[in-house]
Structure 1
Amino acid sequence: MEKKASKGSALGLLPLLVFLILFIGSGIITKDFYAMPVLVAFVIATVVAIGMNTKVSLDEKVEVFCKGASDPNIILMCIIFVLAGAFGAVSKAMGGVESTVNFGLTILPQNLLLAGTFVICCFISLSMGTSMGTIVALAPIGVGISEQTGIPVALALAAVVGGAMFGDNLSMISDTTIAATRTQGCGMKDKFKMNFMIVLPAAVITAAILAFSAGGAANAVSQPHPYSLVKIIPYVAVLGAALMGVNVLAVLTGGVVLSGAIGIMNGSFGIMGLLQAAAQGMQGMEDLAMIAIVIGGLVELIKLNGGIDFLISFIHGKVSGRRGGEFGIAILTSLVDICTANNTITIVMAGPLAKDIAQDYDIDPKRSASLLDIFSSSWQGIIPYGAQLLVASGIGGIASFEIVKYMYYPFLTIAMGVLAIVFGIPQFKDSEKGSESKIA
């Protein structure tokens, strides 16, 4: 089949390599992943990207950067960060986090706190279709559980992010599901069935690991903890509105207003205290917003310099056989997500080539759609510079890299995805043909 993409250039990936060396390398050398600020590392990588490709003028490269940085999805993400910061800070100031955590400590068996948090996040993200919305709403609860029990905050946040990625991958209204099914030409229900059977073992194993990990915290929370149901209302309202499909900006704004009203009525703060808490929360998210903007521009420069096209062309040239085609789709998806730090963009970019590979090697469309979504969502939950871990680390006040080692669910889904390819599972009967369709 005629290749639709140019061969690109491996040199186009140099900025990403520079970032990884600066960020991860400095953390390993100094044993402190705060040593190299993420934003500074990305800015340096951007300077390298702008300095490349002498065939394009400096003005044009700056314009390309600005176009990527001002992408509507990037700007929306920044606004979500800011509102999430305000909601988290105001809710905490009026006592909402403490009451919610204490309520959970009261009703849940102590060894199931983390597992319960993970499962709740799975259901919420599955219903909402967004990992970011789930993390924004529940990460403060994870931090509160950590403070009350002594469980490492990175572990508690990993439970939240892991559950969020479960729904991001599977939800019928997730943008990744929509992008994967549209690019591969299959039904959402078919993709869900295939996808669910592959990742379910990873979710079960993750819940078991988290239950075991939290076992040592039982003594720390054996005493009763007071809570106020009124102070929990903002979280319930935010989650309920999100589940009903209300716009995330409206959800977060309403959450700030509701938390503020409760805080004023119960005397937690006055009008000025409310405004100061909101401002403090917004300021705490400024770095994340800037990082998102710089990443958006950097990705466009990497595309301009041929880095993404190189990955696509390289993977296509190495594919051989059905199983090799599936591995090609998995590897292509993984590499593009590592480069773009956005699983939806990854699927949109890699989807057309994945469809070509699927057609060339007789891979079922629902199979290729599942692989696209599984591997893009898994890596999105692992890379420390992805939006999910950045916002979680911002709420928790820790380095995003600290959370990675506890991200059991994404690592397990990658493993399950590989096993599914190797053993050609699961297998379903094609409802239209009435015969068993082995997908190997």
Structure 2
Amino acid sequence: MEEKKSSFLGLVPFIVFILIYLGTGIILKMKGVPMAFYQLPAPVAIFVGVIVAFLIFKGNLTEKFDCFLKGCGDQDILIMCIIYLLAGAFATVSKAMGGVDSTVNFGLTYIPPQFIAAGIFIIAAFISTATGTSVGSIVAIGPIGVGLAQKSGVPMAFVMAALIGGAMFGDNLSVISDTTIAATRTQGVEMRDKFRVNLVIAGIAAIITLVLLVIFGKPEVVPEVQEYAYSLIKIIPYILVLGLSLVGVNVFAVLTLGIMVSGIIGFAYGEFTLLAYAGEIYNGFKGMNEIFLLSLLTGGLAALVRRAGGVHWLIEQASKMMKGKKSATLGIGMLVGLIDVAVANNTVAIIISGPIAKNISEEYKIDPRKTATILDIFSCVGQGIIPYGAQMLILLSFTNGAISFLDVFPLLWYQGLLLILTLVSIYIPFSDMYLRKHPWNFETGKAE
């Protein structure tokens, strides 16, 4: 049975994890190692934290191990892990059958060349929303963006800033994104509900960004119109998954159907055989191994930390600065944002802060759908502006040193607008119309 006590010692294992993960990245970065913050696998760092918890927490080994296993086997943790596997399989199979290439080329075909920067933002936003990965969006569009910037006369930093902005838009909103899955499962809410709240804020930020990109992003020379090969049929799986998710179809059924439809299209176009199709599904599973293991181990460690009083201590300290719902909501955002800056991974930041945020939400009666939105937005804003995040590192690598982070940072308009609008929404809840129509019942844990 979980002990109702408060102890800073209970947080030490989490602090050890963050220090090891962050410290390793800093040291490797100083040595010039590429992708320094991604060299140490996060599951290994969190495992060290687990060992520390077993060493310093009171109780016999059997009691601590039982608590750890209950945390690993928590229903929300297991659901999150299965969704990760299915999302990875869908993304991998869809890419293998040519879905990403067709989507990129479709956008480039129909977006007028004089709107290059705005077009790059739109394409990146669609791809990252459809595929659930900002990194994948940047990898797919980055080389094209560099070429268009060179030919058009639009400053490369401008185009690259538009690209990472669009990629983070989708990362934040996608129903198959790691961040969305983690944010909704840790708070026990439906993806579609979080999407409806999130879209109001992100949509306004995106519209303002597009207006700015159109005004200030006109090329000096309009490049020649090129023909890009695409297939509308290969875009169908993304639209299908997005549409079914938004109308409330069970996420397991949606992703499984998406995998099947992508497979059928791949067979029809001769992109892979039955065995190759099975191989791509498994490759998708393997691609989620790190986040799968991290989620399991974090769930177990979180249970140990709660038992030792670490979560209660943190809530007590935070409560001294929290005077009500608004300050508590802001506190949740700052917590996940700071953790993201520390670990350079927005999904990891949400997984770590999610259980703590849930406790704070229950304490201050904050709608968990709002909490899930705050977790996702603040973590994505942090991830979209730090110079050592995977998104920024990959983005700049495509430019071959032509621009630096300092060139791109002042042009990260979408991330800045998203943060400002989110802060405004905390104190002037313009995004909570849906929540007011369907208020949350804290006794039943469901919307009315």
Q: Same fold (TM over 0.5)?
A: yes
From 276, 284, 300, the counterpart of 1:273: 276
1:102 partner SS: helix
CA distance in 2 between partners of 1:305 and 1:253 (Å): 39
Answer yes or no: is the 8 Å Cα contact 1:343–1:380 preserved in 2: no
Amino acid at match of 1:233: I
* TM superposition score normalised by structure 2: 0.66
Deviation at 1:225, TM superposition (A): 0.9
Amino acid at match of 1:22: I
Answer yes or no: is the 8 Å Cα contact 2:134–2:171 preserved in 1: no
Answer yes or no: is the 8 Å Cα contact 1:88–1:140 preserved in 2: no
From 159, 167, 171, the counterpart of 2:166: 159
Q: Which residue of 2 aligns with 1:353?
A: 363
Amino acid at match of 1:354: Y
Answer yes or no: is the 8 Å Cα contact 2:43–2:290 preserved in 1: yes
Deviation at 1:28, TM superposition (A): 1.6
Q: Which residue of 2 aligns with 1:111?
A: 117
Say if 1:271 and 1:372 are closer, same or farther in 2 by CA, change over 3 A.
closer
CA distance in 2 between partners of 1:217 and 1:283 (Å): 45
Q: Which residue of 1 aligns with 2:10?
A: 12
Deviation at 1:113, TM superposition (A): 3.0
Aligned residues: CA RMSD? 4.7
Answer yes or no: is the 8 Å Cα contact 2:13–2:53 preserved in 1: yes
Amino acid at match of 2:362: P
Say if 1:419 and 1:286 are closer, same or farther in 2 by CA, change over 3 A.
closer
* TM superposition score normalised by structure 1: 0.68
Answer yes or no: is the 8 Å Cα contact 2:165–2:415 preserved in 1: no
Q: Which residue of 2 aligns with 1:306?
A: 309
Answer yes or no: is the 8 Å Cα contact 1:100–1:141 preserved in 2: no
Answer yes or no: is the 8 Å Cα contact 1:39–1:287 preserved in 2: yes
Q: Which residue of 2 aligns with 1:358?
A: none
CA distance in 2 between partners of 1:287 and 1:369 (Å): 27
Residue 47, structure 1, aligned to residue 51, structure 2: yes
Q: Which residue of 1 aligns with 2:376?
A: 377
CA distance in 1 between partners of 2:246 and 2:74 (Å): 26
CA distance in 2 between partners of 1:217 and 1:291 (Å): 47
Q: Which residue of 2 aligns with 1:22?
A: 20
Say if 1:411 and 1:51 are closer, same or farther in 2 by CA, change over 3 A.
farther
CA distance in 1 between partners of 2:48 and 2:161 (Å): 28
CA distance in 2 between partners of 1:12 and 1:67 (Å): 17
Question: Structure 1, residues 294-339: CA drift from partner, whole Å, max 9, x if none?
Answer: 111122122122121112111223456x7xx743542256437857
* Structure 2 unaligned regions, length at least 5: 30-35, 148-158, 340-348, 384-388, 398-404, 432-448
From 67, 81, 86, the counterpart of 2:84: 81
Q: Tell me how many residue pairs correspond in the alignment.
A: 373
From 258, 263, 273, the counterpart of 1:260: 263
* Structure 1 unaligned regions, length at least 5: 125-133, 181-187, 356-364, 385-389, 429-440
1:341 partner SS: helix
Deviation at 1:289, TM superposition (A): 1.0
Residue 245, structure 1, aligned to residue 228, structure 2: no
Question: Structure 1, residues 196-248: CA drift from partner, whole Å, max 9, x if none?
Answer: 88777644555567779987899899522111122222222222222222211
2:38 partner SS: coil
From 134, 140, 146, the counterpart of 1:144: 140
Answer yes or no: is the 8 Å Cα contact 1:87–1:255 preserved in 2: yes
CA distance in 2 between partners of 1:273 and 1:370 (Å): 40
Say if 1:52 and 1:255 are closer, same or farther in 2 by CA, change over 3 A.
same
Q: Which residue of 2 aligns with 1:341?
A: 351
Say if 1:157 and 1:37 are closer, same or farther in 2 by CA, change over 3 A.
farther
Q: Which residue of 2 aligns with 1:98?
A: 101
Say if 1:370 and 1:89 are closer, same or farther in 2 by CA, change over 3 A.
closer
Q: Which residue of 2 aligns with 1:35?
A: 39
Answer yes or no: is the 8 Å Cα contact 2:53–2:301 preserved in 1: yes
Identity %: 31
CA distance in 2 between partners of 1:251 and 1:224 (Å): 33
Q: Which residue of 1 aligns with 2:228?
A: 225
CA distance in 2 between partners of 1:220 and 1:155 (Å): 18
Question: Structure 1, residues 153-188: CA drift from partner, whole Å, max 9, x if none?
Answer: 9985663443453588xx9xx9599979xxxxxxx9
Say if 1:162 and 1:302 are closer, same or farther in 2 by CA, change over 3 A.
farther
2:270 partner SS: coil
CA distance in 2 between partners of 1:80 and 1:218 (Å): 46
Deviation at 1:369, TM superposition (A): 7.7
Say if 1:158 and 1:425 are closer, same or farther in 2 by CA, change over 3 A.
closer
Amino acid at match of 2:122: G
Answer yes or no: is the 8 Å Cα contact 2:68–2:304 preserved in 1: yes
Say if 1:278 and 1:381 are closer, same or farther in 2 by CA, change over 3 A.
same
